[in-house]
Structure 1
């Protein structure tokens, strides 16, 4: 009776050559069972009279240490031209419903079925031989590999790499490609970065330059940069990718009943990725964002993106797991660490050149207000620089919106905005975060904005340090942010919170909520804005459902009455409600600017389109640290189009001075609900600056705290109608605005701060001048 490894294997590859020439098999085997399986295949398929050499190369398996067969160097030097053929054994998962897929249950029960131990290997060979596949990498003649080895641009003798080591590396890479074709593209991940990147000529030349600049031995700088590379780089493992993605699916399902996205759109993007380097740039609303996108990629058999993560997440057990599923960690501060910046840049360049998809959050951190944060330029500037230097033919940026009906992180966001500080990530934080998902938060919506090609947006040969070049990265970043906003779907919860917040402290019945919602729904339909499918708030059941979802998570209270139930935002939950409103507020900013510009004209008794546009541009300047606006020409056209949509004869009315006609067409007004919270926050900042001593230098945190304290006083006095204005994030925009016009320095003339406050109060007066008719029936 034949031993198990001598029996034929299903779907074994054919002999690699027909001309009877010599063959050298480069065998990647990490156990006796695997070596016996490969030897059995060779003996069964070897043609009579053909010379073969069966030589080991170092195994690519994690944790397995083997060496290159010492006979390989001698065999390569014999002078003939054998065909070099890489071989490996692939262990497959059990077939289920026509697919070989590793489940979380498999992993938890016996470990990764694709990397079985010696005992399980023997069991599989005896009882489940269909789960074994001999993998043959693409063969190559010795002469071809030697030519590539000697290429001045490759890793050759000039770098101290022997031909045997070079051949081993190419064999590994060929086997990876062959095994990926067998298992699926979701495991297309880089390996051997230490071998390929660290020892590359470009990396070592950079190390030598850094060593000279810091006057240290090259060996010392090699050790330092090697540590940085190990600290930064992701170390993918198919086992961990499956395990982590399985956990992701379970975690998402705890709090959400549906993930809504287009598989067809993902397929289009990955077709684009065959010829371009892709960079995914998602919005950042929740700790679940990365889980959501990676889970969608996995479900569609795509590899995990190489995702930049903060070192704050590099704690046990999370750090090692997510590093091996695609996260690479970046320090928050490394401004003056040139070796660290060099390693990070080289790592990104390598991934771009090899077309491994990248991902990071352009905002730099989670939004605490619901709207997009101002973009950070660091990593994007590295990518643009790589393109300019010709390391890649093109890079395609993919704006991604990840929207939620509700999120579990919201309570911590509200606390941070009231000055309570951010909770440190760790094991306790992780348990609390997962526990918070035991409530139901609705659905998640994954949307992809129009891609942005660097070849279409970066001028040829531009110098990023020139005056023109300094604008390139910010322009691209702002365009990405705009496209994320444009792709963000409007949810029922976001519209309902907009309606509730528009009524100040008053509660609403279901019917009253529908009345308030009516013009917003018409606005969305008229402009064909993106919505969740379906978005329908035209029946009492639908509106009651959205309100009930907010009640279930303690954002809204339902007060039972003899005639009808009344829904009112819970005490201290205005920041939470505002968060959901702010996720869609960008869609209503331009129309609000139209309203308030006309209201200001009526208040000052002015007329004309030029005056209208001048006021619109002034509002654009006032709000530029909170919202992403089009260029001046595009903004002008957009504002005039908004006016035309609401009042077709609006331009003529402005010229004639018929402002009441225009205001009547614009009613009911969105401005009080959309813009007032931001302007009231700016006013608090301005008043803090005016109240400060003339020689007092205030830090950002001091201004925030004083503005919060003043706001609490005014809220108690009834002087603030929008409690959601009391937010550190909204104060930040006011501080940035004041800093932009030079008002934070202690040498600032007091009258300039008073003038700033007067301008803010004038803007509030324009909002107050609208005096919108109460849309709720009396």
Structure 2
């Protein structure tokens, strides 16, 4: 399919009887097409078909014309209205609202005005032609429940859409005829009747209910709003952020992949800015807009209608037992995959409240894989994406929820408040595209049996690649330094020493970064920005300025180091295992025990791969560490490694699990989740006051919930002996952590002096 403007015309087969199918929404458009065709030197009959812009009716003469024996050659043509050209681009802007609406869809008055004063904004596109006999053959092979006239009209629409897209750009590739195409498929009607009648509905009502579900969930893209929202996003993120950083070469590779396969974008989820950041990147690079799965809770006025028209489709939070609704969701996904419209959703399900990735959900992923297995596409390409931030405006709300506060429901007032809060500066946004995953290569040839385990492995690989692509930011390093400081006041120079040591470790291991942190000025810049956001406390004295975090700020600051803690995890686990390890076998046994204990907090590779990571990390500091450990000299290895990471990387988790263990012993076997978590919050606050634990951020509903999930998974709740075993394990691990040095430098056990 090629775009035809006033400069060129499709080649008409010699001797063909030509019929031009006019997709015209007004009499003026008919005039424009008539004039244009008259000047092409290729005479033919003109018949109007139903317009995609105003949805007029198809001329009934088309039925008779299609049945004639001369096998006419059908050529679809359409008038395209273009926005005003600005700096080489023809995209809509907010100023167009002051000019009576969408420049691509002018009203009766604007059509005539544009034709008179701006004829360069009028173009004609010509779709690929076909003989009536070719369409008849395709119609005979289709299973769509439509008349031949409707089939021919729809084929003309699709041909013109492809032609118009080459004129306007790929950013406007949208499923314009979703409802017409999907609801006329026999499999849609048959499935709707089957699952509807199972719910006690009549056949007619079953189809109506399925159609209603489709309209409730489906995105309804508007090119006008796609442009307007993209311009709004640019203005919005600049209120709080400097720039969105991403790799242009990665975008080019994704664009190439999208020409051959359906794409599924799977970004991390830490902020409501995640979607609009990715949306703007795609728009800026002329890529098709994603179809993004959103919770029905976001479908409130006016936000819901706006984001629906930029690509969000809404799925109910729960539809267990409603097989008809589930069927419609699957049909919708099948259609998008079959037509290579890109998908997007958050595989974690919701925003991370801690900075660490949440466990993946499998529903949508399993349905996409199922669609691939049923031959809707030869392959599906998964694109893991890390969306990171120097700082996030939501961390205060996350911390409040972790301490027992209620989640603020989404509403228009909530959205306005979020925009107002962007008056502060939050640094930059960092979008990193990880290596893509081919579903066909990952799961083998289509047609093999699907299992839940296979889906879990794919989801795990997605999360692992997101984690590896996440860059270490200066804010994360400063957050680590504040954790090492333990809430005590320190100067920027003191904190910078810790930052530089951890930055050197990051650079030595080749972890991704956003920028090198080599000066105290960079550390001060981050600290002052955190002070502006009330995340860090600052006191300016006559001689020195001190920074620290208090109890209410500790969880907010912890969020940033948790975003990158997985990079330090092998080292932290090794440090704990080295304490008291009798030999290398005992060392690896301790590593395995830690891996099992922390499986609800981190995504671990296979046992052998984890051992290789830990061994390589220790070799970086102590090449002969194995010989030392085999002799029972693990603590000598500890004294030769830097920096010490376990106290800040694992301390809060271990202390939170310790509280869970003690609360289980106190409660006995019966556990009511809400009451139990509240009891853990109360116990942890007492332990902190009594100095039984030392990490403020250990007082977290998220950590207590993970700890409870762990003991349930390990079946350590049911009997007193099992609860005692878990408590003993946590007491021992807590003691090992406390035996580690907590300061900076090689083996130092002294915290930095306060100013």
User: Does structure 1 residue 508 correspond to structure 2 residue 500?
Assistant: no
Q: Supply the distance in 1 between the matched residues of 2:447 and 2:17 (Cα, whole angstroms).
A: 53
Secondary structure of residue in 2 paired with 1:99: coil
Secondary structure of residue in 2 paired with 1:96: coil
The verdict on how the C-alpha distance between 1:283 and 1:224 changes in structure 2, with shifts beyond 3 A counting, is same
Of 493, 513, 523, 1:543 maps to 523
Which TM-score applies when normalising by structure 1?
0.93
Kept after mapping to 2: 8 A contact 1:500/1:568:
yes
Secondary structure of residue in 2 paired with 1:80: coil
Secondary structure of residue in 1 paired with 2:735: helix
Map of 2:388 onto structure 1: 403
User: Does structure 1 residue 526 correspond to structure 2 residue 508?
Assistant: yes
Q: Count residues with an aligned counterpart.
A: 745
User: Does structure 1 residue 472 correspond to structure 2 residue 461?
Assistant: no
Map of 1:255 onto structure 2: 240
The verdict on how the C-alpha distance between 1:609 and 1:109 changes in structure 2, with shifts beyond 3 A counting, is farther
Of 427, 452, 470, 1:488 maps to 470
Q: Supply the distance in 2 between the matched residues of 1:517 and 1:319 (Cα, whole angstroms).
A: 43
Map of 2:745 onto structure 1: none
Secondary structure of residue in 2 paired with 1:514: helix
Map of 1:709 onto structure 2: 682
The verdict on how the C-alpha distance between 1:507 and 1:229 changes in structure 2, with shifts beyond 3 A counting, is same
User: Does structure 1 residue 71 correspond to structure 2 residue 61?
Assistant: yes
Kept after mapping to 2: 8 A contact 1:555/1:569:
yes
Shift of 1:498: 0.8
Kept after mapping to 2: 8 A contact 1:240/1:324:
yes
Kept after mapping to 1: 8 A contact 2:654/2:733:
yes
| Deviations, residues 614-673 of structure 1 (Å, cap 9, x unaligned) | 100110100000001001121121122122122111001111222232111124411001
User: Does structure 1 residue 683 correspond to structure 2 residue 673?
Assistant: no
Q: Supply the distance in 2 between the matched residues of 1:535 and 1:518 (Cα, whole angstroms).
A: 10
Kept after mapping to 2: 8 A contact 1:500/1:507:
no
Q: Which runs of 5+ in 2 are unaligned?
A: 743-748
Q: Supply the distance in 2 between the matched residues of 1:728 and 1:710 (Cα, whole angstroms).
A: 12
Q: Supply the distance in 1 between the matched residues of 2:10 and 2:593 (Cα, whole angstroms).
A: 75
| Deviations, residues 108-165 of structure 1 (Å, cap 9, x unaligned) | 54321111111111011001101100111111111111100001x442xxx3x21110
Shift of 1:245: 1.5
Q: Supply the distance in 2 between the matched residues of 1:149 and 1:588 (Cα, whole angstroms).
A: 61
Q: Supply the distance in 2 between the matched residues of 1:376 and 1:108 (Cα, whole angstroms).
A: 44
Map of 1:353 onto structure 2: 338
Map of 2:729 onto structure 1: 759
| Deviations, residues 568-619 of structure 1 (Å, cap 9, x unaligned) | 1144111100011111111111110000000142xxxx2x211111100110
Map of 2:129 onto structure 1: 139
Q: Supply the distance in 1 between the matched residues of 2:657 and 2:474 (Cα, whole angstroms).
A: 29
Secondary structure of residue in 1 paired with 2:430: strand
User: Does structure 1 residue 720 correspond to structure 2 residue 712?
Assistant: no
Secondary structure of residue in 2 paired with 1:502: helix
Of 24, 31, 38, 2:33 maps to 38
Secondary structure of residue in 1 paired with 2:106: coil
Q: Supply the distance in 2 between the matched residues of 1:359 and 1:493 (Cα, whole angstroms).
A: 28
Q: Supply the distance in 1 between the matched residues of 2:148 and 2:250 (Cα, whole angstroms).
A: 44
Q: Supply the distance in 2 between the matched residues of 1:288 and 1:69 (Cα, whole angstroms).
A: 47
Shift of 1:13: 4.0
Q: Supply the distance in 2 between the matched residues of 1:720 and 1:183 (Cα, whole angstroms).
A: 61
Shift of 1:46: 4.4
Map of 2:644 onto structure 1: 669
| Deviations, residues 678-701 of structure 1 (Å, cap 9, x unaligned) | 11111111222111144xx32322
Shift of 1:505: 2.2
Map of 1:27 onto structure 2: 22
Shift of 1:21: 2.4
Q: Supply the distance in 2 between the matched residues of 1:414 and 1:580 (Cα, whole angstroms).
A: 12
Shift of 1:211: 4.2
Q: Supply the distance in 2 between the matched residues of 1:674 and 1:137 (Cα, whole angstroms).
A: 60
Kept after mapping to 2: 8 A contact 1:282/1:399:
yes
Shift of 1:523: 0.9
Q: Supply the distance in 2 between the matched residues of 1:555 and 1:221 (Cα, whole angstroms).
A: 54
User: Does structure 1 residue 217 correspond to structure 2 residue 199?
Assistant: no
Of 140, 145, 148, 1:150 maps to 140
Map of 2:441 onto structure 1: 456
Shift of 1:20: 4.4
Secondary structure of residue in 1 paired with 2:409: coil
| Deviations, residues 450-487 of structure 1 (Å, cap 9, x unaligned) | 1111112114467656xxx2210111111100110100
Q: Supply the distance in 2 between the matched residues of 1:295 and 1:338 (Cα, whole angstroms).
A: 36
Kept after mapping to 2: 8 A contact 1:555/1:570:
no
Kept after mapping to 2: 8 A contact 1:149/1:163:
yes
Map of 1:4 onto structure 2: none
Map of 2:714 onto structure 1: 741
Kept after mapping to 2: 8 A contact 1:92/1:113:
yes
Kept after mapping to 2: 8 A contact 1:15/1:45:
no
Of 603, 627, 637, 1:628 maps to 603
Q: Supply the distance in 2 between the matched residues of 1:15 and 1:524 (Cα, whole angstroms).
A: 59
| Deviations, residues 405-439 of structure 1 (Å, cap 9, x unaligned) | 11111121111111111111111111111111111
Shift of 1:212: 5.1
Kept after mapping to 1: 8 A contact 2:91/2:227:
no
Shift of 1:676: 0.5
Map of 2:564 onto structure 1: 584
Shift of 1:515: 1.5
Map of 1:774 onto structure 2: 750
Secondary structure of residue in 2 paired with 1:675: helix
Which TM-score applies when normalising by structure 2?
0.96
Shift of 1:567: 0.7
The verdict on how the C-alpha distance between 1:462 and 1:589 changes in structure 2, with shifts beyond 3 A counting, is farther
The verdict on how the C-alpha distance between 1:693 and 1:659 changes in structure 2, with shifts beyond 3 A counting, is closer
Map of 2:162 onto structure 1: 177
Map of 1:439 onto structure 2: 424
Map of 1:95 onto structure 2: 85
Q: How well do the aligned residues superpose, as a CA RMSD in angstroms?
A: 1.7
Deviates more, 1:713-722 or 1:439-448: 713-722
Kept after mapping to 1: 8 A contact 2:73/2:132:
yes
Kept after mapping to 2: 8 A contact 1:28/1:59:
yes
Map of 2:52 onto structure 1: 60
Q: Which runs of 5+ in 1 are unaligned?
A: 1-8
Map of 1:84 onto structure 2: 74
The equivalences for 1:245-284 within 5 A come to 245-284=230-269
Shift of 1:562: 3.6
Shift of 1:557: 1.5
Secondary structure of residue in 2 paired with 1:447: strand
Shift of 1:519: 2.3
Kept after mapping to 2: 8 A contact 1:148/1:154:
no
Of 95, 98, 105, 1:105 maps to 95
Kept after mapping to 2: 8 A contact 1:225/1:343:
yes
Kept after mapping to 2: 8 A contact 1:107/1:243:
no
Q: Supply the distance in 2 between the matched residues of 1:777 and 1:215 (Cα, whole angstroms).
A: 74
Q: Supply the distance in 2 between the matched residues of 1:272 and 1:398 (Cα, whole angstroms).
A: 10
Map of 2:148 onto structure 1: 163
